[in-house]
Structure 1
């Protein structure tokens, strides 16, 4: 088998291995993406708006907010501040993935662009087989999730004018999906210290800062706590 054939085999194997991990995301993204497309259509935008926005922005929360920004007066600084505030958690995602993205080559640029909550959750926690290329696995996880979101948003934009039903409650699909991802990670852990710390610190910040402002303080506290406890946690994992 020549080098080109080996490379194709490596890519196909990673693509096949990554797909089952993204099936829960497929369901959630199609529902939410269609909701977003319908919302854009109801706001007066043609289907290609949600299609292009989902393709180039790929950040669900800010895409919903962008609808109001497009309908209002042009305030680029406000739009930038809003995007940074809503997606500031991605800064912490990036820090967590620094080591995992090493050696990814040019794929790293797409991995950074497409690192949404769901792709981060899978790529960070997945147990990738030793015979599967790690960087290609993460690339396909990111690509599949991106395709799901663009497909859902486009279909919602196309069929939005034909669909007449209440979409209230569909956004809970993503909450349920994250609960499932958390439970799978919990079952894989030998020690639940990090998970318990995350829950407790998030609860404390939720009580102190409220539901609209607790995410960034919670992540800062968790980052500081895990940095402080890194040595004993690592030593404890090695001894188990």
Structure 2
């Protein structure tokens, strides 16, 4: 009975953290459902895409791809540029998502911006099992997204009468708060310098390459910079 107890205890700790995230997910999922149905797709398409793809940005792009001609190469390149950041998430979580048993695959599949932000930054008390916590955060994100896209697709015509402008800033605002909190709680000055440098680099890449390509280019540049600093600059961040 030890394992179920650990799972329940970790869930009771994860759920309050996930409620604000679920609310923000709900509005963005509604937006996706509204968008898909406004383009002529049936109500069930948004939740199916949400469950199968589970990459919010790419799901919006997929609607446009489905409306165009069959072009798998373009779809591959767009997916790489829009959601290539998931590769870097995976690299940074290699040491956390280990020895998880059957929980490993669903936790990896449901890893998104929000799951990564919470699982990578939350300081857990000693009595909370971290593997169960990672799992609960991930599947709750998946559930919230599936339910919100379902609601957006099913009630799209009714919800279209409401003015939801500005709701899309909920998640960017959340990530800004998480970023500031990480800077303030950083253990040393080097971490703060790398965090601020990454932000400046991302802004420069956004200006140079535009919003469609800057994310992947920024992350590659950050990875190269950190590698050079570690390999030849002697920089160590513990």
- Which of 220, 231, 236 is equivalent to 1:233? 236
Counterparts of residues 173-212 of structure 1 (less than 5 Å): 173-191=170-188, 192-212=192-212
Which sections of structure 2, spanning at least 5 residues, go unmatched? none
Q: Secondary structure at the match of 1:46?
A: coil
Q: Deviation at 1:209? A: 2.7
* Preserved CA contact (<8 Å) 1:26 1:148: yes
Question: 1:152-191 alignment to 2 at 5 Å?
Answer: 152-163=148-159, 164-191=161-188
Could you tell me which residue of structure 2 aligns to residue 15 of structure 1?
A: 11
**Residue 79 (structure 2) pairs with residue 83 (structure 1):** yes
Offset at 1:136? 1.0
Whole-Å separation in 2 of the counterparts to 1:190 and 1:161: 50
Query: How far, CA to CA, are the matches of 1:17 and 1:197 in structure 2?
Result: 33
Structure 1 partner of 2:224: 224
Pairing 1:132-171 to 2, within 5 Å after superposition = 132-163=128-159, 164-171=161-168
- Normalising by structure 1, report the TM-score: 0.89
Paired residues of 2:43 and 2:150 also in contact (CA < 8 A): yes
> How many Å separate the matches in 1 of 2:209 and 2:35?
30
Aligned position for 1:32:
28
Once structures 1 and 2 are overlaid, which stretch shifts more, 211-220 or 89-98? 211-220
Question: Structure 1 runs of 4+ off > 6 angstroms?
Answer: none
CA contact (8 A) 1:24 1:177 kept: no
Distance 2:70 2:207 in 1: 35
Distance 2:78 2:102 in 1: 29
The change in CA–CA distance for 1:128 and 1:63 in structure 2 (over 3 A counts) is: same
Aligned length: 231
Structure 1: 5+ residue runs without aligned partners?
none
Shift of 1:220: 1.4
Confirm or deny: 8 A CA contact 2:82 2:215 kept in the other structure. no
- Give the direction of change, closer, same or farther, for the CA distance of 1:169–1:96 in structure 2 (3 Å limit): same
Q: TM-score, normalised by structure 2?
A: 0.90
CA RMSD in angstroms comes to 1.7
Structure 2 distance, partners of 1:84, 1:232, is 30
TM superposition shift of 1:218: 1.5
